[in-house]
Amino acid sequence: MPDDTADIPPTHRPDGEGTSKPTVEASQGPAEDWATRYKYLLADFDNFRRRVERDRESISRQARAGLVRELLPIIEAFRVARDSLAALPESNPMRKGLDLLDHEWTTFLKHEGVEPVAAAGRPFRAEEAEAIGEAPADEAHPDGSVVEVVQQGYRFFGGLLRPAKVIVARAPMGGSPKDAADEEPSIQE
């Protein structure tokens, strides 16, 4: 009878002749490769999860900042109304109601992480406020300090939500411009 297994490669012969067993090193290679791949994949997934969480927080913070920015004119209009009724006696129900609302607005802004950036008497900071006017410096307001806050600015989680508009104290210059024009320039040889 002729050998029908002659055309079959040695690794597939039913009698096992010519087969070679895989070595231990060759069998560990793919398993070790899968373990390494798994570790890298797990690290990539952890990084992805952290990045998505960070992006979600950023989007949430941006949405809250937009809402607060839209509410600021309403809050400021309310405070103007409250200040106009400050002449009323403290027992007046209207004044009590406005004071209660002011307390609630202040609590809301604090809870959202909103802080005012300008106050009269504090030094002027160009990164947080816009100078829209100047006033002469005096003892109460030294040169470079805020004299009046025209529109309050706000900080939101460390970033500037809206810059303040302020009037800044400036010391008068050394002499008047007319005196400087009358002087003859001296020429030294």
Q: Is 157 left (phi over 0), alpha (psi -120 to 50) or beta?
A: left
Convert the pLDDT of each residue in 74-99 to its tens digit.
999 999 988 888 888 888 889 889 99
**Do 155 and 80 have their domain in common?**
no
**Do 107 and 46 have their domain in common?**
yes
Give the chain's residues under pLDDT 50: 13, 22-26, 175-189
Q: Is 67 inside any structural domain? A: yes
Q: How many structural domains is the chain composed of?
A: 2
**Do 120 and 104 have their domain in common?**
no
Q: Is 126 inside any structural domain? A: yes
**Do 130 and 93 have their domain in common?**
no
Q: Is 14 inside any structural domain? A: no
Q: Is 21 inside any structural domain? A: no
pTM over 0.85? The answer is: no
For residue 130, what are the CA distances in angstroms to 16, 40, 127?
89, 50, 8
**Do 38 and 97 have their domain in common?**
yes
Q: Is 185 inside any structural domain? A: no
Tell me what pLDDT residue 189 has: 42
DSSP string, 140-159: SS-TTBEEEEEE--EEETTE
Tell me what pLDDT residue 84 has: 87
- Indicate which CATH number applies to the domain containing 156: 2.30.22.10
Nearest C-alpha neighbor of 150 from the set 127, 121, 119, 123: 119
Domain final residue pick, 92, 112, 132:
112
Tokens 């949405």 map to which residue?
Answer: 63
Tell me what pLDDT residue 177 has: 43
Helix 24-84 × helix 93-111 angle, to 10°: 160
Can you give the residue range of the structural domain that contains 166? 114-174
